[in-house]
Amino acid sequence: MATRALSLDAVSAFGADIREGLTKKGQKELASKYLYDELGSKLFETISLLPEYGLTRADERLLRRHSREIVERLPGDTMVAELGSGSGSKTRWILEAFGRRRHTSYCPIEISAAALAACRRELADIDAISIVGFEREYLEGLLEVAGRRRVGQRILVLFLGSTIGNFDHPADVKFLKEIRAILQAGDALLLGTDLEKPVEQLIAAYDDSLGVTAAFNLNLLARVNRELDADFALEEFEHEARFNAETSSIEMHLRARRDQRVTVAKAGFSVAIRAGETIWTETSHKYSLKEVGALAGKAGFLCEAQWVDGEWAFAETLMVAGT
């Protein structure tokens, strides 16, 4: 498999984060943004096709049905920025609606070079859209995009796929406030949020019968082995999806099957992991509609319109930055 050569700075930032997450007192954790290397991004795309994972299809249905109306609610001269675009396949509906109106710039912001390249390929054929990709963290990328706006131009920020749910509460409010601070009054945010649903449905979505989500989760340890010269034995860990009722979140963990010591050579540390101990790798918060409204208000946005899927509880909310 071709992997991108990482710069020394990127290796040391990755190593420092891994060291902090694995050596902290109490619950060990690894940041979910590291799930998305080239292989991880491809595994995520596969997850979105699984029968148990209805989230992506619900998001796509809403965008397919309502893109024209969403675009009609926005001023003529609007540029589009997307946070964590992934392959961008669902974004096609929004961009085609913009392109029918006038020439529009689209700026996907992605931490994963592989996902960004896939997004450029996926959307290259849409008329009247120019794509300028940013291989950046969300806020750093959005700042750069905002710096490119023409006088009088509006920005629509897309944050789809319920990626907002990867932030613990109240980190989700803080993150939306940071987005709001980069925007101007009248700019907009289209936020996709997965909604509360029965626990069995959620567990199946994050622990599918083919084991693709397990592979996605375990690939994080494989990535640490590849890029930081670590010696995780993958067969000594198992994927676990659990529902935390207190936070209304699905958590993904990697549970150690036995006592072990792991060395991460390029980050210069080794760590003992006890049998049964877990490494927490991702949170996916499930929202109520009331909560989505409150989130918008606390972050300085006004809810302009909302669409909810009838087959899989998922909401698309168009918010406008208030004064």
Ligand X SMILES: C[S@@+](CC[C@H](N)C(=O)[O-])C[C@H]1O[C@@H](n2cnc3c(N)ncnc32)[C@H](O)[C@@H]1O
CA–CA distance, 85 with 112 (Å, rounded to integer): 10
Residues in 131-150 that interact with ligand X by CB under 6 A: 137-138
Q: Is 312 in the site for ligand X (CB under 6 A)?
A: no
**160 vs 296, which CB is nearer to ligand X?**
160
User: Which stretch, 84-92, 93-101, 252-260, 310-318, contacts ligand X (CB under 6 A)?
Assistant: 84-92
The answer to whether 62 and 314 are in contact (CB under 8 A) is: yes
Residue 126 — φ and ψ, nearest 5°?
Answer: -80, 130
Q: Considering only 36-44, 167-175, 206-214, 258-266, which stretch makes contact with ligand X by CB under 6 A?
A: 36-44
Question: Of 85 and 249, which CB lies nearer to ligand X in the complex structure?
Answer: 85
Distance from C-alpha of 242 to C-alpha of 233, rounded to nearest angstrom: 23
Residue 44 found at the interface with ligand X (CB under 6 A): yes
**From candidates 14, 29, 36, 287, binder to ligand X by CB under 6 A:** 36
Q: Does 56 bind ligand X (CB under 6 A)?
A: yes
Q: How many residues bind ligand X (CB under 6 A)?
A: 19
Question: Which segment (22-30, 67-75, 158-166, 238-246) binds ligand X by CB under 6 A?
Answer: 158-166
Binding-site member from 52, 110, 194, 316 for ligand X (CB under 6 A): 110
The answer to whether 188 and 154 are in contact (CB under 8 A) is yes
Min dist CB 36 to ligand X, Å, is 3
Number of H helices, E strands in the chain: 10, 14
Alpha-carbon distance 215 to 55, whole Å?
19
What strand order describes the sheet that includes 237-244?
28-29, 278-285, 249-256, 237-244
Question: In 3D, which of 73, 83, 139, 82 has the Cα closest to residue 106?
Answer: 82
Q: Closer to ligand X at the Cβ: 96 or 110?
A: 110
Q: How far is the CB of 275 from ligand X (least distance, A)?
A: 31
Angle at 76 between CA 72 and CA 81, to 5 degrees: 85
Task: Select the residue whose beta carbon is closest to ligand X and give its number.
Answer: 161
- DSSP assignment of 136-180: S-HHHHHHHHHHTPPTT-EEEEEE-TTGGGGSPTTHHHHHHHHHH
Q: Which of 109, 92, 125, 90 is nearest to 36 (CA)?
A: 109
Residue of 78, 104, 112, 193 that binds ligand X (CB under 6 A): 112
- The one-character DSSP state at 322 is -
Query: Is residue 52 part of the contact set for ligand X (CB under 6 A)?
Result: no
Task: Choose one: 13-21, 82-90, 124-132, 169-177; the region binding ligand X (CB under 6 A).
Answer: 82-90
Instruction: Report, in Å, the least distance between residue 55 CB and ligand X.
Output: 8
> Does position 217 bind ligand X by CB under 6 A?
no
Q: Which of residues 262-291 bind ligand X (CB under 6 A)?
A: none
- Measured distance CA(308)–CA(323) in Å, rounded: 27
Of 5-13, 33-41, 93-101, 193-201, the segment contacting ligand X by CB under 6 A is 33-41
Q: Is 115 in the site for ligand X (CB under 6 A)?
A: yes
Tokens of 191: 């936020």
54 in contact with ligand X (CB under 6 A): no
The token pair at 268 is 């210069």
Applying CB under 6 A, the residues found at the interface with ligand X are: 33, 36, 41, 44, 48, 56, 84-86, 109-112, 115, 137-138, 160-161, 163
